[in-house]
Amino acid sequence: MSIYLAYDGSINANWIARYAVRIAANHPEKQLHVVYIEVAETPTPELSASMKRIEIEAEAVGVEAKLELRPMRHGVFGGLVEHIPAGPQSIVICGARVKKGRRGFLTGTVSEQLLSQRRYNVMALRVVQPGLMGLPGNVLAPVSGDPEGFKVGLSMLELMAPDIQRLHLLNIVESRRSPFRLKSPGHTKQQRARAMTYIRGIEAELLDQLAIAPEYVDSHVAIADNWAREAIIQASRLHAGLMFIEAPKESLTRRFFFSDEVERLLGNTPCDVAVYRGVV
């Protein structure tokens, strides 16, 4: 398995690089490919200094950072596709916008293309707590209704496991506003119990797969009328350093009409967010 960092020289990319270095440090090969697609003919001195800095930080944790400057091929995405071998053996770490653009944090970025093309295991990060320096401590993983998607994400979570102090699994049962207010406490209790059984099942599977002790994993259930808002609240409540969520599968039309919850999370979560999508 090879780990690639899609690097663009920005301050945000430097923060993301710290996650990439940590992930590479937890991999047996201890190698990180830092890929920069040359948007300008000559790299600026700042870029060279930043890349050098990554090399030094990687070396400090025993990781060999390979700095790879590659030409564009019909844009940055094309350059990355040409350079990074497709398949589950490649993990690509990239970044969402740190500040909301006209189309959001992820929409329209190279990272979105990487996630949607399903060529690699991709993790797009938005770093809002640079002080954590890639060591989030508490990780919150909201689990959607698709256990398969989460299983694919496990391969990436596995590489972060040694740095995780506590992994919080969260199952949010979404309830539309008006009916929610109508539901009796008894009904809510049943719903909560079902959701807890489901999340405990995932927890058991996760403990089988990850090198993480049971006392470091906690499962939570929340019943809410707004999935994204509840995830944000839980992230704050649990002092999560990182939220680990699967990229949505909905088509663009659905996202247009029903709003993009991932964008809302990226915009409002007061912790780092990793949006992942894997290939089997």
Partner 1 sequence: MTGQIQNIHPEDVYDYLHSSPGGLDDREVAARLNEVGPNNLEAPKGLWWLSSLVRQLTNFFTVLLDISAAICFVADFIQPGEQMNILGWALLGVSMLNALFSFAQEFRAERAMEELRKFLPQKVVVRRMGEDGEVASDRLVPGDVILIREGDKVPADARLVEGRDLVVNNAPLTGESIPLQVDSAATDKALMESNNLVFAGCTVQRGSARAVVFATGFRTQFGRIAKLSHEIPRVASPLERETSHMVRVLTVIAVSMGLVFFTYGVVTERSLWVNLVFMMGIIVANVPEGLLPTFTLSLAMGSLRMARRNVLVKGLNAVEALGAVHVICTDKTGTLTLNRLSVTRLADPLSGEDIDSRNRCRDVFALALTAADIGVSDEEFTGDPLDIAVAERYRADGGDPVAITSLISRRFAFDTERRRAGGLSKDKAITRFVVKGAWESLRPLVASVRDGDNAAAVAVDPEKLEAADNVVHRMASAGERVIALASRTVDVAEEDADIDDLERNLILEGFIGLEDPIRPEVPDAARQCREAGIGMIMITGDHPETAEAIARRAGILTQGASAAQATVTGSELANMRERDLIARLEKGTTVFARTNPEQKMKIVAALHQMERVVAVTGDGVNDAPALKAADVGIAMGRGGTDVAREAAQVILLDDNFASIVAGIEEGRTIFANIRKFTNYVLVSNGPEILPYLIYMLFPVPLALTVIQILAIDLGTDIIPSMALGQEKPTPGTMQEPPRDRRQGLLSFPLIAHSYFFLGLIEAAFSLSLFFWVLFSGGWEWGQELASTDPLYLSATGIALSSILLMQIGNLFGRRSRYESGIDMEAFRNPLIISGIGFEIIFSWAILYFPPVSKIIGGGPVDAHVYAIAWVGVPLIFGLDYLRKRIALRVA
Look up residue 69 and give its DSSP letter: E
- The answer to whether the beta carbons of residues 64 and 56 sit under 8 Å apart is no
Q: Which two tokens stand for residue 166?
A: 């506590």
Q: Which of 61, 86, 204, 252 binds partner 1 (CB under 8 A)?
A: 61
β-strands 121-126, 272-277 pairing: antiparallel
Q: For residue 74, report the phi and psi dihedrals to the nearest 5 degrees.
A: 55, 50
Q: Side by side, which strands form the sheet with 121-126?
A: 64-71, 31-38, 2-7, 90-95, 121-126, 272-277, 242-246, 137-142, 164-174, 217-224
User: Does residue 111 bind partner 1 (CB under 8 A)?
Assistant: no
- Which positions from 66 through 85 interact with partner 1, judged by CB under 8 A? none
User: Contact, 118 vs 273, CB < 8 A?
Assistant: no
Minimum Å gap between C-beta 241 and partner 1 is 9
Among the residue ranges 50-58, 65-73, 142-150, 248-256, the one whose residues contact partner 1 (CB under 8 A): 50-58
Angle between helices 76-83 and 110-117 (to 10 degrees): 40
Sole binder of partner 1 in the list 1, 67, 128, 279 (CB under 8 A): 128
Token pair 């399903």: residue: 118
Size of the residue set binding partner 1 (CB under 8 A): 49
The window from 26-34, 107-115, 141-149, 181-189 that contacts partner 1 (CB under 8 A) reads 181-189
197 binds partner 1 (CB under 8 A): no
- Verify binding: residue 109, partner 1, rule CB under 8 A: no
Using CB under 8 A, pick the residue from 3, 5, 21, 156 that binds partner 1: 21
Residues engaged in binding partner 1 (CB under 8 A): 10-12, 14, 18, 21, 50, 53, 57-58, 60-61, 98-99, 128-133, 135, 137, 166, 178, 181-182, 184-186, 188-189, 192, 215, 217-221, 225-226, 229, 232-233, 236-237, 239, 268, 270-271
